[in-house]
Structure 1
């Protein structure tokens, strides 16, 4: 059994005190706390091997080795080849970068599908690309009762003119896990690209880009216990063919073709450390042996983490259902809880989302309020003009006791 008490001391922020009291971090969908190994790895890099790459001297060669290790770790996280993983500032920046390159292949006869459920980082880059190329944007709608994609409507949008389908693996606003496997299959039937936003899915479950057979997939390390840096997977055939906007010395070889200028070395090192931390849980608590591959350990880790987070989510959702005047947005039927993450958004009658978040913040329970950049679903639910939602996001370093304290305060608010 996974024991959060073992890992909590490994996250320095969890022992900090704010206004003289410890904090409960339920702001995780906006960015998780950082594991101590990440801090140590980044400090070690900046102290002992900080240099630009491909030089003949010691620190440069050490940098090359360190960054190769980081890229392999990222590839293991996603189930990709190392040269298919691009590092960048964040998922949003990487998506805008790729959209600029893809734009050369689009024109007025083409259609792009985006959804009302997605974070705007997987919506507006494509809307702006459509404005530049004359392509048409089609919006996949949602079931407002469950905050799930309307799959019948989605399927009706896909046709021979569809060139790109952009969809999130999981909603950062309401926790819905989307059936991306089916959507990718539909897109492939008409020869369309697929772009998957896995930012919210990555901290909770295993990603396998080969099994998905998606064309592109992006996530961010600061959502899975690492530093602020983004990762983009692209199929080799696309990354080699597409034109990258780069300086001449960058060359045409992958992945450097897509990583303009000097990379965020310490961020890459930190991302690798975060991935290794997750993998260590697979050997400590999961079914992976100490000699197993990193990928095998990651798979085992996500099984353990998923089971524990389900317990946390069960406690949270069950408790919220008993509190008068609270509305839960998203999947609420216990039989369907495997279709959602432990990211739960609510409103309480009589309080604006900001007022409720402030009441929790007064007791050092950190939650987000607003639309979380998922503007379309906030508008579709009719809550945008009145302050959006309150979002409670759980990860494996949270505890049942923290959930109970949060529930009690929501009840009294």
Structure 2
């Protein structure tokens, strides 16, 4: 697939400022169409959901469109799509609800590679239920999650395995499908924090066999909110705390209060924009008049974006390898286009500050991947995270390398 990064950049007003943004893993810049979709939804007739008035029908349509769009994006039944304020909030809500069925002697497995939002909710819920927490430990030398370390801590008492789909700190891509097999063989559920994964790969929840996952649209050009994707049959067995008059239907029983319809419209617009990033004119096998569905167009777009980001990431890492005093701590064999690095003798916060003087935004920190950061031996120092996004250009990479060279000297 052909991919026009210049065309995408022209649709993102924030890039007009001239900053080279490498903070994509923390949140991307937003195309104007997404902001317009939010504004249009908010200023059109809008009421609580129903069928009597235009305003009620608009609200109902925004909800239906949101679930369908996220279903296409995540490869899952739209009936299992739940909106939340954030992925962290959704994970806490899910952990509290699942823990209603946990008892003393049950076990929950978390990883030391994860963002704390996929650790602390499960640890807290397990402790309150009297369940035991087991750790699936990363290998600090590679930044990977060896599968044998999972099999060593899973047992017939395991109720859930919580893992990252991609490390927001190092970019590591663990083998989710293999972990699903281990968890399910033990009779356990498997939950995936797909916040960083969904920004770089097209997910197929049903094909992977993942029971539940969360992601955040603002990591892939959309608005600030969270999405839970789950097997609707599983959701039907769960009973979260809710108001007595509110519906008990799935997935609505998991959504407290009135939904932010304008954000739902923004997410739908985001998925539609992503689906049209690739130039489909070169699909020679398409018969005249044939049209690809949104899921197929998303697959083509993500393939094109992946090729673009992979090419830039190779250029970046080749350049980093030539800079004296710069060490890249991201070493996993399979990774997103994300690099965590340190400059010898220069604190991470200073590196970030000096890069910004050159118009390059690459933040320093542990980015809430606190357990991984500790196991890498970085405490109390921090490194700088460099993450590529669909709008990153070759010029951005050149500017980053040039600025880092100045800092490293």
Shorter-chain-normalised TM-score: which range? over 0.9
Contact 1:282–1:299 (CA under 8 A) maintained in structure 2:
no
Contact 1:25–1:366 (CA under 8 A) maintained in structure 2:
yes
After superposition, where does 1:13-412 map in structure 2 within 5 Å?
13-15=14-16, 17=17, 22-54=18-50, 56-284=52-280, 287=283, 291-331=291-331, 336=333, 339-386=334-381, 388-412=382-406
RMSD: 1.4
Structure 1 residues 152 and 286, CA, compared in 2 at 3 Å: closer, same or farther?
farther
Q: Distance in 2 between matches of 1:49 and 1:360?
A: 46
Of 175-184 and 283-292, more deviation after overlay is shown by 283-292
Q: Distance in 2 between matches of 1:195 and 1:384?
A: 28
- The offset of 1:151, in angstroms, is 2.1
Instruction: Name the structure 2 match of 1:3.
Output: 4
Contact 2:232–2:251 (CA under 8 A) maintained in structure 1:
no
Q: Distance in 2 between matches of 1:207 and 1:7?
A: 22
Aligned length: 402
- The offset of 1:24, in angstroms, is 0.7
Q: What secondary structure does 1:86 align onto?
A: strand
Contact 1:92–1:121 (CA under 8 A) maintained in structure 2:
yes
Q: Distance in 2 between matches of 1:226 and 1:244?
A: 28
- The offset of 1:66, in angstroms, is 2.3
Q: Displaced runs of 4+ in structure 1, greater than 2 A?
A: 282-290
- The offset of 1:286, in angstroms, is 7.0
- The offset of 1:147, in angstroms, is 0.7
Q: Distance in 2 between matches of 1:308 and 1:60?
A: 42
- The offset of 1:55, in angstroms, is 5.4
Gaps of 5+ in 2: none
Q: What secondary structure does 1:194 align onto?
A: strand
- The offset of 1:258, in angstroms, is 0.8
Of 87-96 and 283-292, more deviation after overlay is shown by 283-292
Per-residue CA deviation, residues 93-136 of structure 1 (Å, 9 max, x unaligned), is 00000111111111111111111100001000000011101111
Q: Distance in 2 between matches of 1:119 and 1:285?
A: 39
Q: Distance in 2 between matches of 1:394 and 1:36?
A: 20
Q: What secondary structure does 2:391 align onto?
A: coil
- The offset of 1:81, in angstroms, is 1.2
- The offset of 1:48, in angstroms, is 1.1
Contact 2:330–2:341 (CA under 8 A) maintained in structure 1:
no
Contact 2:24–2:389 (CA under 8 A) maintained in structure 1:
yes
